[in-house]
Structure 1
Amino acid sequence: MRWRFDRVAAGVVAVACVLSVAACSSGDSSSSSSSNGGSAAEGGIQASGDAIKVGVFDPSKGPASQPGAMTGVKAAVDYINNQIGGISGRPIEIVDCAVDQTAPETTISCANQLVQSGVVAAIDLFNTESAAAMPILSSAGIPMVGLIPYNTATGAATDGRVYFGPPPAAFLVGFMQSLKAAGKDSLTLANTDVPQAHQVFDGLMVPLGRQLGIDVKGIYFPPTGPNYTALATTLAEGDPAAAGLMTSVSDNACTNLAQSMRSVGYEGTVFLAACTEFIDAMGAQAVGSWGYSPIWQPPAIDSAPEDMKGNIEIAQKFIDNQGGTAGFYGYGAFATLVDLARTLTDAGVTDFTGSNILTALKGVTDYQSFLGPVLSCGKATTPNCTTDMLLFEVVGDRKTEPVSGGFITPSPQVLGLIPGAI
């Protein structure tokens, strides 16, 4: 997971005190067809009428690309339009604009292009530069909708945005709490060598670990072309109880690092943030690894609540129909769009303006999300509809289980000290 923590470090001292007593490129846009070539499945309801245009900041460019996200988008559009009758009966049409998350100017260019295309909402697909789009979208009255605000400046404000998942801080706090509960007292994590990474490790994780009695160390690697064997060797030095990546450049980077850590003989808990593809790639070698998620994923289907298993199977079927890569980002994108469609339909929205969409989303209360927890989205201090998160452990060949048995609710006292977290 790739976050920006521009506003987090200022709350470190206060957070530590609480923990001591508690544990796009403008030339590359395209419009997807409303059906993506699908057809109504048996028992499904096909949407009809004028399409509802929704923009997507597609993270498919640059060194931090996540192609799986658009696999999930296309699968969700197929499911929404051909299985559940669209949004209030009308089909959804995706206006796709590719961004390079290392170049904020591409996000700005895409925001302008989406406005010109007449979209009524814009989907933030885990864009670390999403804050660059907000002034443009807000001026046009277009809400931003997503799962997790990877840019904390975006996540620290409530106007013009709704996120169906938790804030980044929830994963950090929940993960640290779970390490302590599992008796793991040493942790070494790697991240790309950029200023934001130093903020989170040096300014937040080390003090949090100190208060919890966890020895936290951070190491850094170049954003492009890292030597995974050398990185794994450094992570394994001193045999920490847990080691790995706090934020993931890509699923491929997670897999390469995990394989290298096993090859250098590291036997502790390998932690790989939000990555999932390493579970399939490594098979039994992935056993014992940890990762986190805001939603249920197919490797954990056996541990999911009975009423959630069917939804996991639906997501997997429609994503598999698209072919190609998916992983965490694919399932996250699928869940985001499906929750958008269902909540707007449930709210009875028929006049699809940005203002009406935002009002409907802010009015969501006690809604059981498609792959995640129960959501309530109208908080005055955060755009996030929940703080609950899942922490998974790989327990068998291509099989995971939640570390705590289900969703973790990170300490509200701690999250309350981080802008926009609660």
Structure 2
Amino acid sequence: MVIALAAAGCGDAAAPAGPAATSALTKPPIRVGFLNPSGGPVPQPGAATGARAALSYLNGEFGGLHGHPVELVSCDTDTTPERAQSCANTFVEKQVVAVMDGYNLSSSAALPALTAAGIPLVGMIPFDSVTGAKAENRVFFAAPQASFLVGALQAFQSAGKKSVTLALVDTPSSHQTIDNLLPVLAKTLGIEAKGIYFSPTNPNFTAVASAIAQDNPDVGGLVAAPSEAVCTALVKALRQQRYQGTIFTAACTDYIKGAPRQAAGGALYSSNWLPAASRYAPPEVQSDLALAQRYIEAVPDSVPGYYAFGEFSLFVTFAKAMSAAPESDLTGPGVLKTLKGLKDFPSFLGPNITCGSTTSPNCTTQMLLFSVQSDGTVKPVTDTWITPVPQVLAAIPGAV
């Protein structure tokens, strides 16, 4: 594996050598940037695990991109626009052909410099609502944030649940969800919905759990989780409050391992298949999950979980798309043209995607909702991918 780690304001640091297969890739490396969300008040260290695992796979077993090794230029972000802008300048200087978004809350600040340099931003879910509101110079292989909330509440309503209270970390982009989206969604679906915030730096989950439990909603939990630790803390606090409704834990799964029987009946969403759902997945997905898990677990100090598998999926889908395109497209404009042109393309661990919408950077609106089983596995609540109500998504900038 060939990785160049370029922190904003710092020099390159060569990573340890990876698989021997990399030495067989004799063509010049293709540089790809990575907005690494491992720092700041809302870190996602699992994304870095997924990126490192994917590079090991791509430069080894996968065979590189048309025989070129992939070189990763990783820049640590801290959720601030200033750091995102600094990272963008680093990527332009290093002449990367694309930048991979690691579920960053301030990725939009990197876009002006990247767009001017003809370098596309590629991700799974745009956590920055400004990034997700337009399609220019960006492609996201998974659904927009709104899809997960809309799809989950659709499924809850279909199951007869009439009230929800959901918490979200208090950031500027969160207010788009709680203040604007949730009321519209509740009215459209005919359910009661309440949103509450918690501090990104000093959260009090006892207070959050108390606020959820006092209304005794049918569903209580998280809109999105900044980390597995947040899920575990809130689930523990809700149990202490003796909350009896469905505990909704966004995309978290780690809390299940510690007490699967107590977790049974809970719910979580995902943009892709997860290892805990392998038993219920199609055979080809089971094979892909095993491959991803093997590489993710081999990463030193691995942080497995939703973000690791999501980032691994991002890199592999990107590599498969570019490997199917001419070698001459391994440039910024070529990458953007190739990805925008994907039609009914099988994404890794996800649904078939069609990109190139003029109004949305997302290539799908589909998502999965899982129910936690007493044996610790998670089972899809529907036989197919859930497609959120188009009329609701149409009211959200950039969602469709």
TM-score interval, smaller chain = over 0.9
Q: Where in structure 2 are the equivalents of 1:171-320 lying within 5 Å?
A: 171-320=148-297
Alignment match, 1:12 = none
Q: CA deviation at 1:305?
A: 1.3
- Aligned-partner residue type, residue 8 of structure 2: S
CA distance in 2: counterparts of 1:287 and 1:62, whole angstroms = 33
Which position in structure 2 is the counterpart of 1:336?
A: 314
Q: Secondary structure at the match of 1:332?
A: helix
Structure 2 CA distance for partners of 1:366 and 1:351, relative to 1, 3 Å: closer
Which residue of structure 1 lines up, in the alignment, with residue 348 of structure 2?
Answer: 370
2:367 is matched with: 389
Structure 1 match to 2:3: none
Contact 1:54 1:119 in 2 (8 A): yes
- Structure 1 position 96 matched with structure 2 position 74: yes
Letter in 1 for 2:298: N
- 1:28, distance to aligned residue in structure 2 (A): 4.9
For residues 107-138 of structure 1, the C-alpha deviation after alignment (integer angstroms, 9 at most, x for no partner) is 01110111111111101111111111111000
Segments of 5+ residues of structure 1 without an aligned counterpart are 1-23
Change (3 A) 1:181 1:166: same
Matched, 1:38 2:15: no
State the AA in 1 paired with 2:390: P
* Equivalent residue, structure 1, for 2:338: 360
Distance 2:33 2:165 in 1: 39
Q: CA deviation at 1:291?
A: 1.2
In 2, the alpha carbon distance for the partners of 1:369 and 1:53 equals: 22
Deviation at 1:163, TM superposition (A): 0.8
Residue aligned with 2:215, SS: coil
1:136 aligned to 2:113? yes
**Identical amino acids, percent of aligned pairs:** 44
The answer on 1:50 being equivalent to 2:31 is no
- Provide the C-alpha distance between the structure 2 equivalents of 1:235 and 1:243, rounded to a whole number of angstroms: 6
2: CA distance, partners of 1:343 / 1:115: 23
Quickly say closer, same or farther: Cα 1:412–1:91, change in 2 above 3 A: same
Give the deviation of 1:140 after TM superposition.
0.6
Contact 2:188 2:392 in 1 (8 A): no
| CA–CA separation in structure 2 for the residues paired with 1:183 and 1:39 | 55
Match of 2:85 in 1: 108
Shift of 1:153: 1.7
CA distance in 2, matches of 1:271, 1:39: 43
Number of matched residues? 394
Q: For each residue in 1:340-391, what CA deviation from the matched residue of structure 2 results, as whole angstroms up to 9, or x when unmatched? A: 1110001123452101111111111121111100011122222111111111
Are the structure 2 counterparts of residues 401 and 47 from structure 1 closer, same or farther at C-alpha, using a change threshold of 3 Å? farther
Q: In the alignment, is the contact (CA less than 8 A) between 1:191 and 1:245 conserved in 2? A: yes
**Which deviates the most, 290-299 or 261-270?**
261-270
Pairwise CA distance, 1:398: 2.5
Among 124, 129, 133, the alignment partner of 2:101 is 124
Q: Which moved more, 1:393-402 or 1:129-138?
A: 393-402
Distance (whole Å) between structure 2 residues aligned to residue 221 and residue 55 of structure 1: 32
Which whole-Å CA distance do the structure 2 matches of 1:353 and 1:75 have between them? 23
DSSP-derived class of the 2:326 partner: coil
CA distance in 2, matches of 1:215, 1:32: 53
Post-superposition offset of 1:324? 2.1
1:401 corresponds to: 379
Aligned residue identity for 1:396: S
Question: Does residue 416 of structure 1 match 2:394?
Answer: yes
Q: Hey, what's the Cα distance between the residues in 2 that align with 1:230 and 1:287?
A: 24
List structure 1 segments (4+ residues) > 6 angstroms apart after TM superposition. Answer: none
CA contact (8 A) 1:36 1:74 kept: no
Partners in 2 of 1:166 and 1:77 — Cα distance? 24
Which of 292, 300, 325 pairs up with 2:303? 325
Are residues 1:151 and 2:128 paired?
A: yes
**Does residue 62 of structure 1 match 2:40?**
yes
CA offsets 1:159-184 (integer angstroms, 9 cap, x no match): 21111111112112111211110111
TM-score normalised to the size of structure 1?
0.89
Is the aligned partner of 1:27 residue 2:9? Answer: yes
Q: One-letter code of the match for 2:235?
A: A
Distance apart, 1:210 and its partner CA: 3.1
8 A Cα contact 1:29 1:95, kept in partner: no
Amino acid at match of 1:288: G
Which amino acid in structure 1 is aligned with residue 71 of structure 2?
E
Alignment CA distance shift 1:412-1:36 (3 Å): farther
**TM, length-normalised to structure 2:** 0.93
Amino acid in the other structure paired with 1:370: F
Q: Secondary structure at the residue paired with 1:131?
A: helix
Between the aligned partners of 1:245 and 1:32, the Cα distance in structure 2 is 39
Task: Determine the C-alpha separation between the residues in 1 that align with 2:303 and 2:31.
Answer: 25
- DSSP 3-state at the match of 2:369: strand
Tell me, in whole angstroms, the C-alpha distance in 2 between the residues paired with 1:331 and 1:59.
15
Tell me by how many angstroms 1:30 deviates. Answer: 4.4
Deviation, structure 1 residue 32: 5.9
* Counterpart contact for 2:7–2:74, Cα < 8 Å: no
Q: Which residue type is aligned with residue 78 of structure 1?
A: S
Comparing 317-326 and 91-100, the one that deviates more = 317-326
Deviation of 1:327 (Å):
1.1
User: Residue 60 of structure 1: SS of its match in structure 2?
Assistant: coil
